[in-house]
Amino acid sequence: MDRRSALVAQSLDGTLDREVDAPSAAAEIGDRYTQRKLIVAPDVLDATGAYCCLAAQLHKIRQSRPLSTVLIASAAPGEGKSLTAANLGLALSGSYQDRVMLVDADLRRPSLHKLFDTDNVVGLNEYLTGTGASIQPVPLSARLSLLPGGNPALDPLAALTSDRMKDLLAMHARVNDWVIVDAPPLAALPDGHLLAALVQSVVLVVRAGCTPLAAVESAIKIVGRQAILGVVLNRSAAPTGAYYYRYARRSSRG
């Protein structure tokens, strides 16, 4: 991978699994979004610093190339792609005050609505298949919205590659700063590969010490190395003296 375009963010070991204590969380997000694993306040360090670093890298890359639609993918299930998509959306809409649309395109196993404790009765699946006349984004804050996946689909390939899907992404890219798409695992299903062709870049989530190298290599081959913006190394132990973690702690405390 070209180092100039490489994007690597690490999360501190265990921080994504402990409940975030955020008494000073932004009021617009509200108490019901103070869920396990979600970052909800700039003074929640550790995991917050990692996701803000990821958001900063996206902004830096966008200075030299068009970038507004990003697919968050993984090689296999359970690597943290949905959590990464959700927290990246929170970081971009919170720290950078960007307008962000989260799209749950994992139509076989939609999960973003669970993270944000929202309804999933009608969503992207219903809209794409025509069983739902329209789809209204769920406002999560003043700058962050969610398009839920809807009822699980057994075979969503035709829907995901339809003109309606292309038009939907293009429309939201015009009215938002970012469209963050949660994709199905790449190695197991063709859905993610097809979705990758509809966005500008892909961020691959890899769980440290868990994902086999062969699976990562397979995922890169499926999407194409040129499409991958970089890698998020999830659930890794922070290296001793990791600079940006120390900088995040110091700057946030003045």
Which DSSP string corresponds to 122-145? S-HHHHHHTSSS---PEESSSSEE
Task: Please tell me the total count of domains within the chain.
Answer: 1
The Cα 211–Cα 63 span in angstroms is 32
152 within domain boundaries: yes
Nearest 5°: the CA angle 143, 44, 98 is 20
49 within domain boundaries: yes
The range of the structural domain enclosing residue 174 comes to 8-252
Residue 246 CB-half CA count within 13 A: 5
Cβ contact 20:40 at 8 Å? yes
Q: For residue 31, give both structure tokens.
A: 């108490």
1 within domain boundaries: no
74 within domain boundaries: yes
144 within domain boundaries: yes
The Cα 57–Cα 9 span in angstroms is 9
Q: For residue 179, give both structure tokens.
A: 């469209």
Q: What is the pLDDT along the chain (254 residues), one digit of tens a residue?
A: 333 333 444 332 233 332 222 222 233 444 444 444 665 534 444 567 788 889 999 999 999 999 999 999 999 888 899 999 999 999 999 889 999 999 999 999 999 999 999 989 889 999 999 876 678 899 999 999 999 999 999 999 999 999 999 999 999 999 999 999 999 999 878 888 899 999 999 999 998 888 888 888 989 998 999 999 999 988 766 554 443 333 333 333 33
Q: What is the CATH number of the domain that holds 212?
A: 3.40.50.300
